[in-house]
A = this chain, B = another copy of it.
Amino acid sequence: MRLEALRSAVLEANLELVRRGLILYTFGNASGIDRESGFVAIKPSGVPYEKLQPRDLVLTDLDGTVVEGALRPSSDLATHLLLYRAFPAIGGVVHTHSEYATAWAQAGREIPAYGTTHADYFYGPVPVTEELTADEVGGDYVLNTGQAIVRRFAQGNAPLDPLAVPAVLVAGHAPFCWGVTPADAAHNAVVLEAVARMAYYTSTLNAACTGVAQHLLDRHYFRKHGAGKTYGQEKN
């Protein structure tokens, strides 16, 4: 992906979040990476979305050194960069405080896979990180947020595939989502909020609900992903 196209794609991903009602004021940010050069384009910090221009996007390398752009990058930059380093398959990252996903994060609860809408996008519960310790918060907080995410995906004897579960809830904070492109990451963030909303209602209607069976999870996930997919217009 050339840098001009990257900028456009990242701007568009940011605007998609606004159009879909996930953003209040300047909350949230989307970024994208050009894997060839290793350059990342990200929203500047605290700039109103309605005024965003392609040239306002900040270009950095994977260490966070600004390569191009007059504005400060998003204050969440270090989390984005760590995710790009830890998850080589992803091409876009989105962070929002979308309200239902944030509520699950604040409640410290993973979002169970209650139905097929969830299964179409997330192959299992959307996990929640551990709370950051006082040391982690007092230290390089933004980087440590990324570390908590990466740790959560590596955890236990069955590490999670970031493309199979392209979202996480940071405990007491809010979701991070990603995808193979910035557009894909934004799309996943929008669907996550819808899934979080429906899961909230489901949990209220049936507190004992444990979610769909593994065979349904498999079926719906692989319906949209991988060689055997049957959804959409692409020929396999």
Residue among A47, A191, A233 with most chain B CB within 10 A: A233
* A223 part of interface (Cβ distance < 8 Å): yes
Task: Give the copy number.
Answer: 4
List the B side residues contacting A87 at CB < 8 Å.
Answer: none
- Chain A 85-120, CB-CB to B under 8 Å as 1, else 0, gives 000000000000101101111111100001111000
A212-228 interface bits toward B, Cβ cutoff 8 Å, 1 = contact, 0 = none:
11011011000100000
Q: Chain A 197-236, CB within 8 Å of chain B: the 1/0 string?
A: 1111111111001011101101100010000001111000
A233/B44 in contact, CB under 8 A: yes
| A1 CB, nearest partner CB in chain B, Å | 23
Could you say which of A5-13, A34-42, A129-137, A148-156 contacts chain B?
Answer: A129-137
Q: Are B27 and A117 in contact (CB under 8 A)?
A: yes
B215, A107: Cβ atoms closer than 8 Å = no
Q: Contact between B201 and A99 (Cβ–Cβ < 8 Å)?
A: yes
Asked if A206 and B75 sit within 8 Å, CB to CB, the answer is: no
Interface string of A55-84 (1 = CB under 8 A from B): 000000000000000011001000000000
Q: Which residues of B contact A131 (CB under 8 A)?
A: 213
In the complex, A137 Cα to B47 Cα: how many Å?
45
Residues on B with C-beta less than 8 A from A141 are 219
B45 and A202 form a contact (CB under 8 A) = no
**Which of these, B24, B137, B202, B230, contacts A107 with CB under 8 Å?**
B202
Nearest-Cβ distance from residue A3 to partner chain B, whole angstroms? 22
A23 to chain B: closest CB distance in Å? 11
Question: Which of A27, A100, A201, A231 has the most chain B CB atoms closer than 10 A to its own CB?
Answer: A201
Given the complex of chains A and B, what is the CA–CA distance between A141 and B202 in angstroms?
A: 24
A216–B100 CB distance below 8 A: no
Residues in chain A within 8 A of chain B (CB atoms): 24-25, 27, 44-47, 71-72, 75, 97, 99-100, 102-109, 114-117, 131-132, 134, 137-138, 141, 172-174, 187, 190-191, 194, 197-206, 209, 211-213, 215-216, 218-219, 223, 230-233
14 contacts between A and B (CB under 8 A): A25-B191, A45-B231, A99-B198, A102-B117, A102-B198, A103-B198, A106-B209, A107-B201, A107-B205, A109-B206, A115-B174, A134-B215, A137-B213, A200-B204
